[in-house]
Amino acid sequence: MEPEIHLKKNVRRKIPVVALGMVGLFFFTVLFGPFITPHNPFKIDLNNAIRPPFWEEGGSTRNLLGTDAMGRDILSRLIYGARTSMIVSIFAILICGTIGVLLGLISGYYGGKIDTVIMRFTDLWMSMPTIITAILIVSVLGPSKKTVIIVVGVTGWITYARIVRGEVLSLKEAAFVRLARVAGCGHLRLIFSHLFPNILNTLIILVTLDFGRVIIITATLTFLGLGIQPPSASWGLMLAEGRQYITYAWWMTTFPGMAILLAVLGMNLTGDWLRDRLDPKQKLR
């Protein structure tokens, strides 16, 4: 009994409480944002512009984290910025995940010339910088939330394709796949009923880690003027709007930067923990 109790304690110790707390706070903000937002994040009040946080001279508890140059409440815009990041992340990951998983399954299962063509196309696409791709798409569609989703979606599938291909290459020679072939399973049934369920753990880890990547790329594109446009509430947009005031209104850039840092750090640490928990190789170690 003692070794078993000791093992349970070690498992509990390894749970990243801080990281899960960050992620939980992020999702809580996304789900309940409209109910906990203290002010209208889009309401302009020039008489209340560039107010510091409540603990500094000139600040007030009415605007806990201060206001921006248009008099909008920083805390309210941070909350709505989390919702924007979540919406973009979900749709972008759906796009890049679907493309990458399908190409990875096809490439790994069929092999041969199909595998060669898909992997060479993947290498070619990987050589294109994300910013260049973003500029090309923006020049056609114009800067918007939809553009960010498309840019992140069409540039992020490479990781999914390569990792899924590697998993399928190792699984397709397994005993259960051979038995399914003997039983008369067709190619599509083998791929989606036997191989795909066995890579779900890997996909869960990939998606968790990819949230951080999407948040950073979204903030970067928006900061450069290629993404979400005013008056939307976005962390990257808040950074762009506050950079010219950074010498005397530090809160306009510091709080959005901290929000990005905490969200990405929480997602990455949670992804690492899930990898340790869900990957059989890690469990053996």
Q: What is the pLDDT of residue 281?
A: 56
Q: What is the pLDDT of residue 73?
A: 92
Residue 258 scores a pLDDT above 90: yes
Of 267, 248, 220, 254, the residue nearest 22 (C-alpha): 267
Domain count, the chain: 1
Burial of 51 (0-12, 13-18, 19+ CB in 10 A): buried
Give residues with Cβ within 8 angstroms of 24, minimum separation 6. Answer: none
Residue 223 within any structural domain of the chain? yes
Q: Is position 160 within any domain?
A: yes
Which has more pLDDT, 169 or 176?
169
Residue with tokens 């929000």: 259
pLDDT tens digit string along 40-68? 899 888 888 889 999 888 888 888 998 99
Residues 3-39 have pLDDT tens digits of 444 444 444 447 778 888 888 888 898 888 888 888 8
> 3-class DSSP state for residue 73?
strand
Q: Which residue has the higher pLDDT, 111 or 78?
A: 78
pLDDT score recorded for residue 227 = 84
261 domain-assigned:
yes
Question: What mean pLDDT, rounded, does the chain reach?
Answer: 85
Provide the domain limits for residue 238.
Answer: 74-284
| Residue 63, Ramachandran bin (φ over 0: left; ψ between -120 and 50: alpha; else beta) | beta
Which of the four pLDDT bands, split at 50, 70 and 90, describes residue 182? confident
Burial (CB < 10 A; 0-12, 13-18, 19+), residue 168, is buried
140 located within any domain: yes
Angle at 140 between CA 226 and CA 239, to 5 degrees: 5
**CATH number of the domain that 212 lies in?**
1.10.3720.10
In a domain, 26, yes or no: no
**Quick check: bond before 231 cis, omega within 30?**
yes
